[in-house]
Amino acid sequence: MRLALASFLLLAASSPALAGGIESTGTGVAIALPLVAGGISLYKDDRTGLAQLTVDTLATVGTSYALKQFVKEQRPDKSDFRSFPSNTSALAFAPAQYLWDRYGWEYGLPAYAAASFVGYSRIDAKKHHWYDVAASAGFAFTFSKIFTTRYRAPGLRYGAAISPDGGQFQLSYNF
């Protein structure tokens, strides 16, 4: 967990976006999140998880991008009619939800905090409404629930149970 947080902070801090204010910092964090999530999966030698992260992220960002072509919602800054949904938030929330679903809240909570910052940065910059960000988070949640399975580290697992009618012993190995 500490390695994941340190990796995230290192990537975010080394981003040149930090010099450009909250909007560009949010964009830098959004770019860093899938990289950090992928790094965590690689560190755990979790190739299945890496594939799931890729599918989750592509489905979330792809859906967001496709909807943006059809839904004509004006941005709060009135610059154009491509506000709904937020692609940047989709890019941030997809790995956050993946980390939660694959590795648990210990990884997901810090990632969700970072993704929430990204969403806030988009609203603060008047590039998106709150519901644009919420929709992107909802897409990430949905696709992760469809494509992500819980991580089980390789190794031997065992268990035993005793009852008045008998007993049971279970032995399994995860590859």
Q: What is the pLDDT of residues 130-148, one digit of tens each?
A: 999 999 999 999 999 999 9
Task: Give the pLDDT band of residue 158 (cuts 50, 70, 90).
Answer: low
First to last CA, the chain: 23
pLDDT score for 70: 94
Q: For the whole model, what pTM was predicted?
A: 0.78
Domain ranges of the chain: 2-174
Q: Check pLDDT > 70 for residue 20.
A: no
Which pLDDT does position 153 carry in this prediction? 74
Q: Is the pLDDT of residue 19 over 50?
A: no
Mean pLDDT of 89-100: 97
C-alpha dihedral, 53 to 93 to 31 to 131, nearest 10°: 140
106 sits in which H/E element: helix 105-124
The stretch 126-133 carries a mean pLDDT of: 95
Instruction: Output 165-172 pairs: Cβ under 8 A, ≥24 positions apart.
Output: none
pLDDT mean over 39-64: 96
Q: Are 97 and 108 in contact (CB under 8 A)?
A: yes
Q: Residue range 149-156: average pLDDT?
A: 79
Cα separation, 40 vs 43, in Å, equals: 5
DSSP state of 174: E
* Alpha-carbon distance values, 120 to 11, 65, 114, 134, 164 (Å): 19, 19, 10, 11, 57
Helix, strand, or coil (residue 159): strand
Find the Cα–Cα–Cα–Cα dihedral 133, 66, 149, 33, rounded to 10°: -50
The answer to whether 108 and 99 have CB atoms below 8 angstroms apart is yes
Q: What is the mean pLDDT of residues 139-162?
A: 84
Whether the predicted pLDDT of 165 surpasses 70: yes
